[in-house]
Structure 1
Amino acid sequence: MKPWKRSGGTVTAHIDRQEAAVLRGLVSQVDDMLRARVEDTPQDELAELTGIRTGPTTSPDDPILSRLLPDFHRLDDDNPSKEDLDSAAMLRSLHEPRLLEAKVGVAAVVLETCPANGGDLALTPEQADAWLSALNDVRLALGTAIEVSEDMPDELPDDDPRSPHLSVYHWLTWVQESLVQALSS
């Protein structure tokens, strides 16, 4: 992929076929996970009557989804009070549906604007913001899956099964940084 460039009111880049396939595949996987969370949400009769959407009251069990959908209220890990637990459940129920909608929406923008066979990209500022959010979600998901940490080296030994995934993680970081620089120029 060539670095993003600002051209008038758009940002442009060129992505090759393999990069487009990797990016689209990762965004699709994250999108599938998020959509499955939406589908697993129990139906609430009161929400259907009032039009107020509600979501799950508990954090996802999956560590990747838990990273993408963090708690809206920090709990005292040692001794959470009933009020704190109730507050966390209520905040999640109220806010998670909008967060899921936003994350699914930005994934859709990337999938709509990234050519499946590679090629030129030209994004409006709104589309570029969606790309930044979707890239961040993919990096969070991949980083959680391969356990990226601050003390992790930039390269892993070839026999480490995370090694190829870490290279993709670094590439996604570069794509995101390049897009940020183009938007701020």
Structure 2
Amino acid sequence: MAGLFESAGAGGAVLALDELEASILRSLEVQMLELIGPGPGGDGDGPGDPLAALFAEGPTRAPEDPALARLFPDAYGDPDGPADPQAREAAGEFRRYTELDLRARKREDALHVVRALDGLGGEGGLVTLDAEACLRWLGALNDLRLTLGVRLEVTEDDERGLYDLPDTDDRKPLVMAYLWLGALQESLLEAIAG
């Protein structure tokens, strides 16, 4: 089936994409890379000083962008509850030592998808993933879907209403991408379980 994953056995999967699907997915992943931003050193052109990267500390505050805050949530405290100074301090300390690694992993996952799609040569085709690549794709698809969900202000209660948006609604293209990413995620999980 075009556009959804199928099992390739041994925890792997195969995805048939037409040219438009590959282009959309690649564009979304490139935008994800831009949202996440470069790693320590800022230019992203090289590995930089590995020792400095090992001891680099991340931010202590949650990102202001709601999509980034969803991708990099606080580890402690109730996001919907009152601000607890102790929880906020613990979350800041946890973030300081974990966010850079989490950002790097999310960047690597998105880059893995982009490179696989670039391997199609700008056309549609078959993407074959081994078990490790499936996990990278699963992470990248999840990040995209979470980000679009925040941008669309999706809640569990109104997700069903996304299917009923009129074609004239400006959110319709993003909603279609959000729903497609959900179907991709579900089909990838089923293919992995195979």
Interval containing the TM-score (normalised by the shorter chain): 0.7 to 0.9
How far is 1:31 from its partner? 1.1
Aligned-residue CA RMSD (Å) = 2.2
Tell me how far apart the structure 2 counterparts of residues 103 and 155 of structure 1 sit (CA, whole Å): 32
TM-score, normalised by the number of residues in structure 1 = 0.86
How far is 1:3 from its partner? 3.1
Q: Does 1:95 align with 2:98?
A: yes
- 1:64 and 1:141 in contact (8 A); partners too: yes
How far is 1:51 from its partner? 3.7
Give percent identity, aligned residues only.
Answer: 33
Amino acid at match of 2:98: H
Aligned length: 177
Residues 16 and 80 of structure 1, relative CA distance in 2, 3 Å threshold: same
Instruction: Quote the residue 2:182 is aligned against.
Output: 173
Q: Does 1:32 align with 2:34?
A: yes
- 1:4 and 1:182 in contact (8 A); partners too: yes
Tell me how far apart the structure 2 counterparts of residues 36 and 170 of structure 1 sit (CA, whole Å): 28
- 2:39 and 2:104 in contact (8 A); partners too: no
Q: Does 1:110 align with 2:113?
A: yes
Gaps of at least 5 residues in structure 1 are: 41-46
Of 56, 65, 68, the match for 1:65: 68
- 1:155 and 1:163 in contact (8 A); partners too: no
- 2:39 and 2:100 in contact (8 A); partners too: no
Amino acid at match of 1:70: P
- Residue by residue over 1:70-94, the C-alpha shift from the partner in whole angstroms, topping out at 9 and shown as x without a partner, is 111115742422x333212111111
1:2-81 aligned at under 5 Å gives the runs 2-9=3-10, 10-36=12-38, 39=42, 48=52, 51-75=54-78, 77-81=81-85
Gaps of at least 5 residues in structure 2 are: 44-50
Residue 76 of structure 2 aligns to a residue in which SS? coil
Tell me how far apart the structure 1 counterparts of residues 39 and 64 of structure 2 sit (CA, whole Å): 11
TM-score, normalised by the number of residues in structure 2 = 0.83
Q: Does 1:149 align with 2:155?
A: yes
Residue 11 of structure 1 aligns to a residue in which SS? strand
- 1:155 and 1:166 in contact (8 A); partners too: no
Tell me how far apart the structure 1 counterparts of residues 35 and 65 of structure 2 sit (CA, whole Å): 10
Tell me how far apart the structure 2 counterparts of residues 85 and 67 of structure 1 sit (CA, whole Å): 16
Amino acid at match of 1:156: L
Tell me how far apart the structure 2 counterparts of residues 51 and 151 of structure 1 sit (CA, whole Å): 42
Tell me how far apart the structure 2 counterparts of residues 51 and 147 of structure 1 sit (CA, whole Å): 36
Amino acid at match of 1:80: D
